[in-house]
Structure formats: C-alpha cells, structure tokens
Amino acid sequence: GNSVTQMEGPVTLSEEAFLTINCTYTATGYPSLFWYVQYPGEGLQLLLKATKADDKGSNKGFEATYRKETTSFHLEKGSVQVSDSAVYFCALTTTDSWGKLQFGAGTQVVVTP
Amino acid sequence: NAGVTQTPKFRILKIGQSMTLQCAQDMNHNYMYWYRQDPGMGLKLIYYSVGAGITDKGEVPNGYNVSRSTTEDFPLRLELAAPSQTSVYFCASSYSTGDKNIQYFGAGTRLSVL
C-alpha cells in the first residue's frame, strides 16, 4: 500500500533560519506528491505539489523537488518567518486511488522572533 | 467565497449519543471526503464520495455513516458515540483526482466524547 513518512517535530527555529522537513514515501502506483499546511485553528490548505519525477513545486518561498530515485519530497525554505509557524503535512495520491490522499503524520514548525 | 463549510465547530457528546456533522461545499466539486485527525497523527480517511449517491469506505469507517444526496452536501453521522471518536474532523472536496487533485478543507469540527 501507500505510505508517507515525515520527520518528527516540533521543529523550532529562529526567524530567518533555513527550514528543511524530510518526507519519504512508498507507493504502489506512480504518485503525485503534495505539501499541505495547517495554521493554528484552521483546516489544511495546499502549499505546493509536484506530479512527476524531477518536478519542483514552489509557493510562498517554499520549495520541494520530486525525487523518484530516493522516493523523497523534502520541503525547504531559505528564510522562515514567524508567520510560517504551522503544521506541515506531506501527502501523496496515485492514479488508482480515486483521489484519496495518504498523509504523513505532520511536522509542527515553531518560528521564534 | 465560502468554499467548504463545516458545522458545528465544537461539540461535546456523552457516550452512546448520536450526532451529524454537517459539510457543504459551493465549488461544484464531485469528490468529497471525511477525515479525522488525532493528536500527533496524520489525517485518516473515514469515508469518501465520488458524486451524489455514491459513497465508499476509507481507512477508518467503523462507527460512522455517510450519505450524499446532493453534490453540495456530505454529512457524517456518528451513531453510539464512543470515547475513541474524540477527534478533530475535517471535510474536504476536490474537482478531480490524480495529479489534478487539489483538496479544499473546511475549518474542522472538534468533537469530545465523554
């Protein structure tokens, strides 16, 4: 079956620090990969996605590259802000899964001034 | 600009009570989903629907029921609530599947069963 593994949190950083959140996956089909973000008290919202190998998804200064050879989709941001404090979820879907997303456990990020 | 609307936002139930969590979307999406989110865990899919009148079980369906009589609404029914159903419930919808699948989430319903 499909599965997603994320690094455990919380990750605590100072403002302007570099952020990396590791995500690896296993999938029976050819997956599309996503990062969703959940701000405190809110639902999840799509941050970025990549649909084929070597694609780079980017949004709001965040980037992630679809690495088929290492089955990874690590999220990075060069300079975080306090407003980036949230829980980040890596997820995948495959063409045979009827749109169902398989989520990782989530990584809480706390950015301090 | 409503998107996905969930009601109620909070609810406390006694063991054995029942309730319905409401979910409505105004984006004309065919696909709708119910997830639960437990502390420190990712989201687990409870039920999903690919269109009005069509529903199917997800990963953790036991203790829940759903119906989809219209494109817009996808209520989740809890019968005989149990403490194990204490969780945050999210409804989501999407236009399509596969690489075009972007799911839009509601703000969640926080449920406590005591």
pLDDT (average), residues A91-111: 87
Which of B29, B103, B105, B109 to mutate to test binding with chain A, by most A CBs within 10 Å of its CB? B103
Instruction: Give A46's contacts (C-beta < 8 A, 6+ positions apart).
Output: A34, A35, A36, B102, B103
Tell how many helices (H) and how many strands (E) occur in chain B. 0, 11
Across A33-47, A49-63, B49-63, B87-101, least confident range:
B87-101
**pLDDT at residue A71 in the model:** 96
**pLDDT at residue B100 in the model:** 66
Report chain A's C-alpha Rg in angstroms: 14
Q: Which residues of A touch B25 (CB under 8 A)?
A: none
Strand partners, B83: none
Mean pLDDT computed over every residue of chain A: 93
Q: What three-state secondary structure class fits A84? A: helix
Task: For B96, name the nearest residue in chain A, comparing CA atoms only.
Answer: A99
pLDDT means per 10 residues, chain B with 114 residues, are 90 96 95 91 91 93 96 96 95 78 90 96
Give Dmax over CA atoms of chain A in angstroms.
Answer: 44
**pLDDT at residue A45 in the model:** 93
C-alpha to C-alpha distance for B23 and A24, rounded to whole angstroms = 32
* Nearest of A56, A31, A55 to residue B99 by alpha carbon: A31
Chain-centre distance for alpha carbon B43:
11
Contact A106 B31 (CB under 8 A): no
Instruction: Give DSSP secondary structure letters for B45-80.
Output: EEEEEEETTEEEE-S--TTEEE--SSSSB--EEE-S
More confident residue, A22 or B2: A22
Alpha-carbon separation of residue A76 from A79, A100, B1 (angstroms): 9, 25, 31
**pLDDT at residue B98 in the model:** 58
The model's confidence at residue A100, banded by pLDDT at 50, 70 and 90, is: confident
**pLDDT at residue B41 in the model:** 80
Query: Phi then psi for B102, rounded to 5 degrees?
Result: -110, 120
pLDDT (average), residues A15-44: 92
**pLDDT at residue A1 in the model:** 82
* Nearest of B96, B45, B98 to residue A94 by alpha carbon: B98
What is the tens place of the pLDDT at every residue in B83-97?
999 999 999 999 876
Check if the beta carbon of residue B93 is closer than 8 Å to that of residue B10: no
B107 contacts chain A (CB < 8 A)? yes
**pLDDT at residue B83 in the model:** 95
